Amino acid sequence: MAERLIVVGADAGGMAAASQARRRRGPDDLEIVAFDRGRFTSYSACGIPYWISGLVDERDDLVARDPATFRDEYHVDVRLRHEVTAIDLDRREVVARDLAGGGEVHERFDTLVYATGATPVHPKWARTDADGVFGVQTLDDGDALRDWLERDPAPRRAVVVGGGYIGVEMAEALIVRGLEVTLVEQADQPMSTVDPDMAGLVADAMRGLGIDIRTGVTVTGLETRDGRVTGVRTDAGEFPADVVVLGLGVRPNTALGEAAGLPVGPSGGIRVDRRMRVIGTDGVWAAGDCVETLHRVSGQPVNIPLGTHANKQGRVAGINIGGGYATFPGVIGTAVTKVCDLEVGRTGLRESDATAAGFEFVSVVTESTNRAGYYPGARTMTVKLIAEKPGGRLLGAQIVGWSEAAKRIDTLAVALWNGMTVDAMTGLDLGYAPPYAPVWDPVLIAARKAVDALSA
User: What would the pLDDT profile of 27-44 be if each residue is shown by its tens digit?
Assistant: 999 999 999 999 999 999
Q: Determine, yes or no, domain membership for 26.
A: yes
Q: What is the tens place of the pLDDT at every residue in 70-106?
A: 999 999 999 999 999 999 999 999 999 999 989 999 9
Contact 57, 180 (CB under 8 A): no
Q: Are residues 244 and 257 in the same domain?
A: no
Counting every residue written for the chain, the total comes to: 456
* C-alpha pair distances (Å), 26 with each of 30, 113, 202: 6, 18, 50
Last residue of a domain, one of 248, 269, 297: 248
Contact 131, 227 (CB under 8 A): yes
Q: Are residues 313 and 339 in the same domain?
A: no
pLDDT value of position 456: 81
Q: What is the tens place of the pLDDT at every residue in 207-255?
A: 998 999 999 999 999 999 999 999 999 999 999 999 999 999 999 999 9
pLDDT value of position 67: 92
- Compute, in degrees rounded to 10, the torsion defined by CA atoms 259, 262, 264, 270: -110
Q: Are residues 272 and 212 in the same domain?
A: no
Strands (E), 187-327: 212-215, 219-225, 228-234, 237-240, 243-246, 250-252, 270-271, 284-286, 291-294, 301-302
Last residue of a domain, one of 189, 219, 248: 248
pLDDT value of position 152: 83
Band of residue 445 on the pLDDT scale cut at 50, 70, 90? very high
CA neighbor of 315 nearest in space, from 71, 30, 110, 42: 42
Q: Are residues 244 and 255 in the same domain?
A: no
Q: Which of 46, 80, 144, 209 is catalytic?
A: 46
Q: Are residues 79 and 227 in the same domain?
A: no
CA neighbor of 185 nearest in space, from 167, 205, 170: 167
Estimate to the nearest angstrom the gap between the alpha carbon of 167 and the chain centroid: 12
Q: Determine, yes or no, domain membership for 31.
A: yes
What values do phi and psi take at 346, rounded to 5? -150, 150
Q: Determine, yes or no, domain membership for 384.
A: yes
Q: Are residues 97 and 127 in the same domain?
A: no
Q: Determine, yes or no, domain membership for 326.
A: no
Q: Are residues 103 and 127 in the same domain?
A: no
pLDDT at 261 over 90: yes
Q: Are residues 115 and 257 in the same domain?
A: yes
Upstream peptide bond of 434 is cis (omega within 30 degrees of 0) = no
Last residue of a domain, one of 290, 321, 352: 321
Q: Are residues 176 and 234 in the same domain?
A: yes
pLDDT at 1 over 80: no
Q: Are residues 44 and 189 in the same domain?
A: no
CATH number for the domain spanning 348: value is 3.50.50.60
Q: What is the pTM of this model?
A: 0.93
The domain tally of the chain equals 3
148 contact partners, CB below 8 Å, separation of at least 6: 131, 132, 134, 155, 243
pLDDT value of position 379: 92
Q: What is the tens place of the pLDDT at every residue in 111-120?
A: 999 999 999 9
pLDDT above 90 covers a percentage of the chain that reads 91
Q: Are residues 340 and 449 in the same domain?
A: yes
Contact 250, 222 (CB under 8 A): no
Q: Determine, yes or no, domain membership for 51.
A: yes
Q: Which domain holds residue 424?
A: 335-455
Contact 367, 380 (CB under 8 A): yes
Amino acid (1-letter code) at residue 56: V
* Residue 290 falls in the annotated catalytic set: no
Strands (E), 37-155: 76-80, 82-88, 93-98, 104-108, 111-114, 118-120, 133-134
Looking at the DSSP assignment, which residues form a beta bridge with residue 384? 365, 398
Q: What is the tens place of the pLDDT at every residue in 370-404?
A: 999 999 999 999 999 999 999 999 999 999 998 88
Q: Determine, yes or no, domain membership for 327.
A: no
Q: Determine, yes or no, domain membership for 328.
A: no
Q: Are residues 341 and 361 in the same domain?
A: yes
Q: Determine, yes or no, domain membership for 7.
A: yes
Q: What is the tens place of the pLDDT at every residue in 186-208?
A: 999 999 999 999 999 999 999 99
